Structure 1
Amino acid sequence: MTSLTRSRRAFWGDVRFLIGIALVVISIAGVWAIVSSSGRTTPVLQAHRTIVEGEALSSADFQAVDVSLGALTDDYLAPQDLKPGEVAARTLAEGELVPATAIATAESSRRTTIVVESGTGIPEDVSAGTLVDLWQAPPLPDGRGFDVPRILVSDVVIGTVVEAEGMLASDTAMVEVVIDRADVADVLAAITGGAALSVVPIGATP
């Protein structure tokens, strides 16, 4: 009886020993996998200029860089993932890695561009990607001057400054702005109605 008890204890001792060895092997394998994946790089796209929301994308707008993103790799755009007809779903800063959520098809985009003349010019620090408000001063009914300025469209993104940089703020300036398609009719109505338009950076006053 004593011999049988000792055999059982020896058996369970061997099992626990084997389980311990297996756990050590699994732990080492897990650590190796983490270290190995952390040192692995993947090519993803990086914007080499500021790209505004709604702008059509091409391979010339990006460069491929090798980065180590680990589990986040699939969240960013690889060179082979860029397809014709895609646009920026939001503004991408120069040097930014491109998230997969930052692109959209042209058909699904609600943004478009329109060129307006800012009667008060624009500050020198306003450039592509700057967030501004578009103000309007409607003409008075008698045609003698303009009414009190009011915001026409909020949170507009500057696409392009048409005039040369370095202009005085008192000069007029042509700018291309990125706006929601739903606001196009109001902007065109203001232009054709003779309103004085002004591009004003967020936080400033016209």
Structure 2
Amino acid sequence: MASAGIRRRGGGGMTLGTPATNRLKRPSWRDPRLLVGILLVLASVAAVVSLLAGADRTTEVFIAKRDIPVGQKITEDLLDRGRVRLDPVQERYQLAAEGLPSNGFAVQRIPQGELLPKSSIDEAASVDRSPIAFSLDENLPAGAKVGSRVDVWASRPDVRSGGFNEPVRLLAGAEISQLENRSGGLGSNRSTSVYVLVGKQQMPQILDSLANNAKISVVWNPSGGQG
């Protein structure tokens, strides 16, 4: 009996037959492996899109180029723009998309590099403090700088003795809005002009002391207390 795949040929010799070949089948849409691959690709794309969307939740805001004192009108030239992630506190700050109020003034000092809080901007009528300058021949106390709280004392001249009367505290816990160091020229003493924010009710007493050439002293009040 002849083996499978062997055929005879003339002359009694035998040759091996050609084995049958397996043909590759075209993949079907019903192939589970193809469906799984498509689902994996779609899941990867969705994950990347979601990651990119979550990574950029920043908001464009206004940033103070320099210290903005109380009473200063808020304009674009005082501000830079930047993108930060605010999320839960976004409503507290003036966003670039909202623009600036047409008649907005600083009712609180805004330090350089800080974001622009909405609570620090209002109309001019809401500014209840004005800066007034005191010229000091003595050095400021250590720690006294823009934004610091100080007490202001005044000693009026004593006509009889030629000296000064006992000092009286004019302001307690007043905020320094600006400092200027000045020199009177060659060989002259340097002086410091301290701009302090003063309320409308306190202004008459301050102006009266200055008009009567009172000697002004500034004392650092680190607690900012009024007592």
Q: Give TM-score, length-normalised by structure 1.
A: 0.68
Query: Hey, what's the Cα distance between the residues in 1 that align with 2:217 and 2:127?
Result: 26
Root mean square deviation, CA, Å = 2.9
Displacement of 1:190 after TM fit?
A: 0.6
Unaligned regions of 5+ residues in structure 1, if any? 1-31
Query: Once structures 1 and 2 are overlaid, which stretch shifts more, 72-81 or 177-186?
Result: 72-81
- Counterparts of 2:160 and 2:137, CA distance in 1: 20
Q: 1:197, CA displacement in angstroms?
A: 0.8
Query: What do the CA deviations read for 1:132-189 (whole angstroms, capped 9, x no partner)?
Result: 2211112225252112223211222222223249xxxx95422322211221111001
C-alpha distance 134-38 of structure 1, shift in aligned 2 (>3 A):
farther
Task: Determine which structure has the larger helix proportion and give its number.
Answer: 1
Map 1:1-206 → 2, pairs under 5 A: 39-79=56-96, 80-123=98-141, 126-142=144-160, 144-164=162-182, 172-203=191-222
Q: Secondary structure at 1:177's aligned position in 2? A: strand
Aligned length in residues: 168
CA offset digits 1:75-105 (Å, max 9, x no partner): 2112343224322221222222122111111
Is contact 1:55-1:88 (8 Å) kept?
yes
Alpha carbons 2:69, 2:178 under 8 Å: kept:
no
Tell me the secondary structure at the aligned position of residue 162 of structure 1.
strand
Relative contact order, CA 8 A, sep 6+: which one is greater? 1
Q: CA 1:101/1:135 → structure 2, altered by over 3 Å: closer, same or farther?
A: same
Q: Distance in 2 between matches of 1:131 and 1:60?
A: 28
Report SS of the residue matched to 1:190: helix
Alignment CA distance shift 1:78-1:70 (3 Å): same
In percent, how many aligned pairs have the same letter? 24
> What one-letter code is carried by the residue in structure 2 that aligns with 1:187?
I
Letter of the aligned partner of 2:104 in structure 1? Answer: E
Q: How has the CA–CA distance of structure 1 residues 90 and 41 changed in structure 2, closer, same or farther, with 3 Å as cutoff?
A: same
2:164, 2:209 → 1: CA distance?
12
Query: How far did residue 110 of structure 1 move?
Result: 0.4
C-alpha separation in 2, matches of 1:149 and 1:120:
16
Contact persistence 1:54–1:178 (CA under 8 A)? no
Partner of 1:4: none
Distance 1:187 1:62 in 2: 33
Bigger-Rg structure (1/2): 2
